[in-house]
Amino acid sequence: MSHPSFPRLEDTNTSLDGLGGRVFTISAVVGVLGLAATFALGAAQGDGLRRLGFTYLTSYTYILSISLGALTFIPIMYVTKASWNIVVRRLAEVMAAVMPLLAVLAIPVILFAGQVYGWADPQVAASPAMAHKAAYFSRGAFILRWVIYFAIWSLYGLFFWRQSLGQDADGDVQRTLRLENYSGFSIMIGAVSIAMASFDLLMSLDPLWFSTIFGVYYWAGGFVSFFAVMTLVTFGLQNTGRMTRIVSPEHLHDYGKAMFAFTFFWGYIAFSQYMLYWYANIPEETNWFLERSREGWGKLGIALIFVAFALPFAGLISRFAKRSRKMLAFWAFWIIAAQWLNIFWVVMPGYSEHFVFSIMDVTCFVGLAGVWLAAVTRLAMGHSLVPLKDPRLEASLRFENA
Amino acid sequence: MSRGDLYGLLIEFESPSLLMAAVEKVRDAGFKRWDVHTPFPVHGMDDAMGIRGTRLPWIILGGGLTGLVAATAMQWWMNAIDYPFVISGKPLFGLPANIPIMFELTVLFSAFATFFGMWGLNGMPKLYNPLLTSRRFRRATQDRFFIVIEARDPAFKLEKTREFLASLGGSEVEEIHESAED
């Protein structure tokens, strides 16, 4: 038989042993140092931590969007009964299961709300246009919504992960069938909660502005970033001799396809949002774009068309690029930077009419990313990096693109 | 009635594994105009046959760019030149308003290029294939696996190729002609 021989789990190392402790320590230290430096830089501004509040919101919103991407990815794979993803699904599971940590990290967003959000500004709140929104935009309602969002996300994040670990132990196919049933509802409730969370996190910076597509805009940026992070995590594991062979160029090809597709999807949504407001040209709607078209912010906005859309689109269009480790790694880093920059462009004009950028924005991102990675690593330690007894594991190992 | 010119030589195998071994030998023998027929897709066949990547993506890229240019030029000429008409204070040629059409025509032309490019590369539409004259070949849709080497292959020499095929361990080699025996 001259069939190519298919890889087996026994052919590679599927545990974090040895590596996990080091990654956890290093990323936790980097994370804590990064956040401490950010706080020190923020306090040195002497503006009542207002600048700090904005940079924290930027990077927190971005990191959260990656975990939300993981939380959407898993149920989509279940409802479509997809098999290609099984060898890497555990990685997504731990990224989604860190939701309780992200809930704790949301506390500063609530603490900074007074300095950051337009609805907390008495002048804005006194506007007649705010009258019917007053109940929604109160601190109490804001906190209540965050409790609800994180109750939902933590429940699902931990549920998918625990069920998958449970299947490692008992190999019960019923678990997969049950998850396929639950996943449809989880996608629906996820769509609503993620959209509403994006309204709270980003759109309510200017409580008079509204965009019904905003939730999709936020989710799309997070989803493409999630695939970029998956790519880099997979490469990190493979470069240290883990998950080699079982994650083949065929799986990498799918990462590439997902990054390509959702880069385009993000651009499509971002443009859809812009074009309708441009065309209707109603002041209360265009104001948001006007603030982001002024000098500095406008240049960044134009740059984003290329940085977050056109260049990665062109870079990932060919089959060759999607199967090349170097190209994939390059574009994964690129997409993460570009999508962070997009959130930055959404958030920061709320802080200042003029373009601002400081080292604080970098340290805050590095800090939060470090803490997030430490938590993800901690959850991945002590378990297999691959769902051992998923009924579709064999199909995933043999996966080939047509 | 004459059976027409020689189309090629056909050989039959009973299993995909026997077929794959033979396919690699045919590839290594340097034949160019030959094909394999199986009742279902056989994994790894492209590599075994040494099929190079398709040129189709380049045709699609050309189609897509044509659509993009056509949509841009069409809207510019219609709105800004042929019938200038100011709508809600927008510029005569305002890019955001034109992007949906540019996007749609890019997709449409890409789809046409994909569909008809695939036809062209596969030599379609083809209403008749001499292989259909072989009774034995009918099982290609059921449980048999076939290799055919066409007579127009530069490396094709009737007796030598027949001997070569016979050495591959399949069934008896069958001559296929352009038209059926009456």
CATH number, position B41? 3.30.70
> Are the Cβ atoms of B43 and A274 closer than 8 angstroms?
no
Q: Which of B84, B103, B121 is a domain's end point?
A: B121
Residues B113 and B71 in one domain: yes
DSSP assignment of B126-181 = ----GGGG-SGGGGGGTT-EEEEEETTSTT--HHHHHHHHHTTSSS--EEEESS--
- Report yes or no on B147 lying in a domain: yes
A302 in contact with B, Cβ within 8 Å: no
Are B117 and B134 found together in one domain? Answer: no
The one-letter amino acid code at A355 reads F
Least confident of A52-66, B101-115, B121-135: B121-135
The reply to whether residue B89 touches residue A281, judged by beta carbons under 8 angstroms, is yes
**Three-class secondary structure of residue A242 per DSSP:** strand
In a domain, B100, yes or no: yes
Residue A281 CB neighbour total at 10 angstroms: 11
Tell me the residue range of the domain where B90 lies: 56-121
Tell me, yes or no, whether B61 and B146 share the same domain.
no
Count of CB atoms situated within 10 Å of the CB of B121: 12
Establish if B68 touches chain A: CB-CB under 8 angstroms. Answer: no
Q: What value, to the nearest 5°, has the Cα angle with vertex A338 and ends A337 and A340?
A: 65
Q: What is the mean pLDDT of residues B112-137?
A: 89
Q: Alpha-carbon distance A182 to A79, whole Å?
A: 9
Residue B44 and residue A3: Cβ atoms within 8 Å?
yes
Asked if residue A206 lies in contact with residue A288, where contact means CB atoms within 8 angstroms, the answer is yes
Q: Are residues B63 and B115 in the same domain?
A: yes
Mean pLDDT over residues B119-141, rounded? Answer: 86
Q: Could you please report the per-residue DSSP string of B79-119?
A: IIIIS----TT--TT-HHHHHHHHHHHHHHHHHHHHHHHHH
Instruction: Sort out which chain A residues have CB atoms less than 8 A from B88's CB and list them.
Output: 279, 281
B127 confidence band (pLDDT: 50, 70, 90): confident
Q: Is residue B1 part of a domain?
A: no
Residue A2 to residue B89, Cβ atoms within 8 A: no
Strands B34-37 and B6-13: unpaired
Residues on chain B touching A400 (C-beta within 8 angstroms): 43
Q: Is A279 on the interface with B (CB under 8 A)?
A: yes
Task: Please tell me the predicted confidence (pLDDT) of residue B25.
Answer: 83
Instruction: Look at B53 and A2 and tell me if their CB atoms are within 8 Å.
Output: no
Tell me, what's the pLDDT at A293? 93
Q: Does one domain contain both B105 and B149?
A: no
Look at residue B44 and tell me if it is in a domain.
yes
Q: Compute the distance between CA of residue A169 and CA of residue B2 in angstroms, rounded to an integer.
A: 71
Last residue of a domain, one of B101, B121, B141: B121
B63 with B105, same domain: the answer is yes
Of chain A, the end-to-end C-alpha distance in Å amounts to 21
Residue B182 lies in a domain: no
Q: Does residue B65 share a domain with residue B32?
A: no
Q: CA of B33, closest CA in chain A: separation in Å? A: 23
**Per-residue pLDDT for chain A (402 aa), expressed as one digit of tens each?**
344 567 888 888 888 888 999 999 999 999 999 999 999 999 998 888 999 999 999 999 999 999 999 999 999 999 999 999 999 999 999 999 999 999 999 999 999 999 999 998 888 888 888 888 888 998 999 999 999 999 999 999 999 999 999 999 998 999 999 999 999 999 999 999 999 999 999 999 999 999 999 999 999 999 999 999 999 999 999 999 898 888 988 999 999 999 999 999 999 999 999 999 999 999 989 999 999 998 899 999 999 999 999 999 999 999 899 999 999 999 999 999 999 999 999 999 999 999 999 999 999 999 999 999 999 999 999 899 999 988 888 888 888 776
What's the distance, CA A86 to chain centroid?
A: 20
For an interface test with A, the pick among B24, B60, B99 (most A C-beta atoms closer than 10 Å) comes out as: B99
Same domain, yes or no, for B68 and B20?
no
Residue B169 structure tokens? 């361990």
A residues 201..230 contacting B (CB < 8 A): none
pLDDT in tens, B39-72: 988 888 888 888 887 889 999 999 999 999 999 9
How many CA atoms within 13 Å lie on the side-chain side of B19? 26
Domain tally for chain B? Answer: 2
Contacts of A204 by beta carbon, 8 Å cutoff, 6+ apart: A117, A118, A119, A137
Q: Could you give the ipTM of this predicted complex?
A: 0.77
CB A349 within 8 A of CB A287: no
Q: Does B91 touch chain A (CB under 8 A)?
A: no
CB contact under 8 A, A2 and B100: no
Q: Cβ of A40: how many Cβ atoms within 10 Å?
A: 12
Of B79, B98, B121, which one is at a domain's C-terminal end?
Answer: B121
Q: How far is A267 from chain B (nearest CA, A)?
A: 12
Residue B182's pLDDT band, with cuts at 50, 70 and 90, is low
pLDDT at residue B1, as a whole number: 47
Which residues of chain A lie closer than 8 angstroms to B51, CB-CB?
A: none
pTM of full prediction above 0.80: yes
